[in-house]
Structure 1
Amino acid sequence: MASTSATIDLPVPPARVWQLIGGFDSLPDWLPYIPASVAAEGGRVRRLENADGGVIVERLVAFDDAARSYSYTILDAPFPVTDYLSTLSVHEVPGLPDASRVVWSGTFTPAGADEAEVTALFHGIYTDGLAALRDTLAA
């Protein structure tokens, strides 16, 4: 099992960040490389489409609004992994009540691919995603 995570601190209150990213179907609101998301099964499954028309299907497995966190698995995607579990969470920055720390992390088992390459792939997705979140909030 491999894992990676990315973290960003933002000069925005956690409640505001969570309002933007806390909906499982909200990726198109802040992630430019995911322009479309269609919810299914009462919002517990999302069908994402990337800018190239590729499809990723994910299932929500845990949601905690009070803790500002959700976790999801991949049901279908063009990624060489199995047993994927990712969590997106928003925390207060200690001593800075108007700042947020956003963490995007995942664990997975590479399938037919080099572990370092797959880890770098997801680390890039998380890092680029958090940079897009920063840019969206600054706009």
Structure 2
Amino acid sequence: MATTTATIDIPASPDSVWQLMGGFDSLPEWLPYIPASRLGEGGRVRTLTNEDGGVIVERLESFDDKARSYSYSILQAPFPVTGYLSTLSVHEGRDQTTARVEWTGTFTPDGVGDEEAIALFHGIYRDGLAALHRTITSHLPQGTS
């Protein structure tokens, strides 16, 4: 089993960051390479469409609004892994005006080496968190970012 984690500090309150990204169906609001998301099975399954038209189906495994965290598994995707489980969480950064966002995943590479699978998901997480940072800071009043 392989694992990777990416983190980023965002100059906004943890609650405001969670309000944007904490919905299981909210990826299109902050992740440019996922322009469409559709919920099914009572909100427990999301079908994502990436910018190339590819489909990724994920299941919500746990959700904790108070802890600002949710975990999901992949049911269908064009990734060379099995047993994928990922968690997105928002924590207080150095003070109440800074959020530390963490995206972590565990998975078993399938047909590729650990390093290649780790590099793939670390890049997805890093680029996704950078997009989240850009989305949030572009909406902050001038002089606060």
The TM-score, its normalising length taken from structure 1, stands at 0.98
What residue number does 1:138 align with? 137
* 1:34 alignment partner, SS class: coil
What residue number does 1:40 align with? 40
What residue number does 1:104 align with? 103
Q: Partners in 2 of 1:102 and 1:77 — Cα distance?
A: 24
Please give the root-mean-square deviation of Cα atoms over the aligned residues, in Å.
Answer: 0.5
Q: How many residues align?
A: 138
Q: Partners in 2 of 1:56 and 1:68 — Cα distance?
A: 23
What residue number does 2:11 align with? 11
Q: Partners in 2 of 1:7 and 1:70 — Cα distance?
A: 15
Aligned identity (percent) is 69
What residue number does 1:22 align with? 22
Q: Partners in 2 of 1:45 and 1:100 — Cα distance?
A: 27
Post-superposition, which runs of at least 4 consecutive aligned residues in structure 1 deviate over 2 A? none
The TM-score, its normalising length taken from structure 2, stands at 0.94
Q: Partners in 2 of 1:138 and 1:99 — Cα distance?
A: 12
Superposed, 1:61-76 pairs within 5 Å as 61-76=61-76
Q: Which amino acid aligns with 1:104?
A: W
Q: Mark the runs of 5 or more structure 1 residues left unpaired by the alignment.
A: none
Q: Mark the runs of 5 or more structure 2 residues left unpaired by the alignment.
A: 139-145
User: Does the 8 Å contact 2:11/2:137 carry over to 1?
Assistant: no
Higher strand share: 1
Question: 1:28-78: CA deviations, max 9, x gaps?
Answer: 000000000000011100000000000000000000000000000000000
* 1:42 alignment partner, SS class: helix
